[in-house]
Structure 1
C-alpha cells in the first residue's frame, strides 16, 4: 500500500493538481504521504481488541442505535417502543473496518480556518440544507481509550459551497456577505465516552474539491468566559467525506441544486483518494432519519489521535462579535492570489 501511495503522490505532484481555485495541493499530498509512511502510525483498527474487551464498542453501538431511534421518534418516523437492535457481537466483529487516521495530519486545515469559534452543538445559524446530527468519537490510539478531555472543532461550507467568516475570491461570489456570520462553525467537548456531538449540514461542493467537512482536535485548551477556548495543543487536522451515492441524493435537493459551481466527485478528489489509503476511511457512516435525505441524517465516525502529537495549522481569520477579522501574518492572507500557502511561492498564477 505504501509503495502505491508514493507512486500515486508522485503523479499528483507532477500534474500540478489544484484544490480551491488558484491553490495547489502539493503540500497536502506530501503531508498525507508522510503520515502514511510514518513507522509508528496507528489507526482505530489497531485498538480493536482493547476497545471490544473494555465494552466500549458495544456501549457505543447501543448508544448510537438509541440516538438514531430518538431522532426518528422526534421526527415522527418511529414510535417509542419500536427500537429493533442489531446483534452487538456482529458490530464488534466488524469494528475497525472504518478507521480515521492518527499521529500526523490526515489533511490540510485549508485556507478558511477561523479561530475563536464558539462552543456550541447547533451550528446551523439559519442555514438551510440537509440537517445532519453528527457524533464524532475520539480515540487515543497510543493507549486505546476514548479521549474524554478534548475539544473537537468543526466547520464546512453551506449548501451552495460557501465558507462563512471569510472573504476570498473563489469563496462563492467573493463578496463580504459571508464574513459577518459564523454559521456551520463551532466546537464541542468530548464526553465520558469520547464523543462530541454536532448539528450541522451536509456541506455543498465548490470548484476543485468534493464535499467535505473540516475538523481539528484540541487538547488541554482553557475554556474562556466568552464560550471559546484558548491555548493547548492540536493533535489532529482532518477532513470528513460523504458517500457518493448519498451525495447524489443530497445534490438533488434545494438549495444544493441551485449551486452552479463545477462539482468534483469523490473519485476525482486527490485528497479523498489519499485519505482512503493505509486502512483509513474518513467517510461518515450515515443513516436516514426518515424516508429521504430531506428528512435529516444521523452520522457517526471514529477518529484516532495521538494526544501527544502537536500539529501547527494556521488560521486566516479570527471570529469576533463583529464578524471574521484577519489574523496578522497568516500564511493564508491574500488567498488564492498571493498567500504564502497558495502553492506558487507567494506569486499569483499566470492567467
Structure 2
C-alpha cells in the first residue's frame, strides 16, 4: 500500500493540480504521503478488535439505527414500532473492512477556514439543499477508545459552491455578500460515545474540487461565555466526501442544479485520491430518511485521531459580530493570487505530527 501511495503521490505532484481556483495541493500531497509512511501510523482498523470487544461497535451501530429511525418517524416516513435492526454480529464482522477514518494530516484546512465559530448543532442558517443530519465519531487510535472531551469543527460550501464568512476571487462571484453570514459553520463537543452531531447540507462543487466538508478536531479548548472556544490544541485537519453515484443524484436536485461551476469528480480530485490511500475511507455513509434526497439524509463517519498530535492550520478570517474579518498575517490573505500559500512550498519538516506507538 505504501508503494502504491508513493506512486500515486508522484503522479499527482507531476500534474500540479489545484485545490481551489488558483491554489496548488502539492504541499498537502506531500504531507499526506509523509503521514502514510510514518511507521507508528495507526488507523481505526488497527483498533477493530478493541472496539468490538468493548462493545463500542455494537452500541454505536444500534444508536445509529435508532437515530435514523427517530428521524424517519419525525418526518412521517415510519411508525415508532417499525424499527428494524441489523444483526449486530454482522456489523461487528464488517467493521473496519473500510476503515471509514481520516487521520492527521489528511488534508488542508483550505483558504476559507474562519476561526471563532459558534458552538451549535444546526448550522443551516437559512441555507437549503440536501439537508443532512451528520454524526461524527472521534476515536483515539493510540488507546482505541472514543474521545469524549473534544470539539469537532465543521464547515463547507453551500449548494452552489460558495463559502460563507469570506470574500475571495473564485468564491462564488467574488463579492462580499457571503462575509456577513456564518451559515454551514460551527462546532460541537463530543459526547460520552465520542459523537458530535450536526445538521448541515451536502456541500456543492466548485472549480477544481469535488464536493467535500472540512473538519478540525480541537482538544483541551476552553468554552467562552460567547459560545465559542479558545486555546487548546488541534490533532486533526481533514475532509469528508460523498460517494460519486449518490453525489450525481444530489447534483440533479434544487438548488444544486443551478450551480454553473465546472464539476470535478471524486476520481479527478487529487486530495480525494490521497485521502483514500492507506486503508482510510473519508466517504460519508449516507442513508435516505424518506424515499428521495429532498426528504433529508442521515450520514455517519468515524474519525481516528492521535490526541497528542499537533497541527497548526491557519485561518483566513475570524468570525465576529460584524461578520468575517481578516486575520492579520494569515498566509491565506490575498487568495488565490498573492497569498503565501497560493503556490507550492514544501513543508519545512519531513514530519510535522507527533506520534506515539
**TM-score after normalising by structure 2:** 0.95
- Rounded to whole Å, the distance in 2 between the matches of 1:24 and 1:205 is 17
Within 5 Å, give how 1:91-106 maps onto structure 2.
91-101=91-101, 104-106=104-106
134 and 17 in structure 1: CA distance in 2 versus 1, 3 angstrom threshold: same
SS in structure 2 of the partner of residue 235 of structure 1: strand
User: RMSD in angstroms over aligned alpha carbons?
Assistant: 0.9
Partner SS for 2:166 = coil
- 1:4 corresponds in structure 2 to 4
- Structure 1 residue runs of 5 or longer lacking an equivalent are 346-351
Tell me if structure 1 keeps the 8 A contact 2:26–2:344.
no
| SS of residue paired to 1:178 | coil
Corresponding position: 1:328 with 2:316? no
| 1:174-189 map, 5 Å | 174-189=174-189
Do the aligned residues in 2 keep the contact of 1:42 with 1:101 (CA within 8 Å)? Answer: no
Instruction: Give the Cα separation in 2 of the matches to 1:201 and 1:98.
Output: 24
In 1, the alpha carbon distance for the partners of 2:196 and 2:124 equals: 16
Within the alignment, does 1:207 sit opposite 2:207 as a pair? yes
Q: Deviations over 1:312-339 (max 9, x none)?
A: 0000000001100000000000000000
**Does residue 64 of structure 2 align to residue 73 of structure 1?**
no
Distance 1:145 1:223 in 2: 23
The 3-state SS of whatever aligns with 1:268 is coil
Q: Which residue of 1 aligns with 2:112?
A: 112
**1:313 pairs with 2:313:** yes
Counterpart of 2:85 in structure 1 is: 85
1: CA distance, partners of 2:106 / 2:100: 8
For the residues of structure 2 that align with 1:32 and 1:186, how far apart are their CA atoms? 25
How far, CA to CA, are the matches of 2:245 and 2:15 in structure 1? 28
- Give the distance between the partners of 2:246 and 2:295, measured in 1 at CA: 13
Partner of 2:197: 197
Contact 1:61/1:88 (<8 A) preserved: yes
**Structure 2 CA distance for aligned equivalents of residues 7 and 97 of structure 1:** 23
Q: Deviations for 1:220-268, whole angstroms, at most 9, x for unmatched residues?
A: 0000000000000000000000001110110000100000000001011
Q: CA deviation at 1:173?
A: 0.3
Partners in 1 of 2:88 and 2:181 — Cα distance?
A: 42
What is the SS of the residue equivalent to 2:148? coil
Q: CA deviation at 1:104?
A: 2.8
Tell me the number of residue pairs that the alignment of Structure 1 and Structure 2 aligns: 345
Tell me the residue number matched to 2:351.
none
Change in Cα spacing, 1:38 to 1:101, as seen in structure 2 (3 Å) is farther
Aligned mates of 1:174, 1:180 — CA distance in 2: 14
Measure the CA separation in 1 of the matches of 2:276 and 2:293. 24
Matching of residues 185-264 of structure 1 within 5 Å = 185-264=185-264
Residue 267 of structure 2: SS of its match in structure 1? helix
- d(CA) in 2 for partners of 1:344 and 1:282? 24
Question: Contact 1:103–1:309 at 8 Å: present in 2 too?
Answer: no
**By how many angstroms is 1:103 displaced?**
5.4
Aligned to 1:161: 161
Contact 1:42-1:102 within 8 A present in 2 as well: no
Cα shift at 1:31: 0.8
CA contact (8 A) 1:333 1:339 kept: yes
Q: 1:19 Cα deviation (Å)?
A: 1.6
Instruction: Please name the residue that 1:348 is paired with.
Output: none
What CA distance in whole angstroms lies between the structure 1 residues aligned with 2:102 and 2:22? Answer: 29
8 Å CA contact retained: 2:165, 2:180: yes
Structure 2 residue matching 1:281: 3-state secondary structure: coil
Note the alpha carbon deviations across 1:6-54, whole angstroms, 9 max, x for none.
1211122122111201111110111111111111101111101111111
SS at match of 1:158: coil
Q: Secondary structure at the match of 2:206?
A: coil
Matched with 2:124 is 124
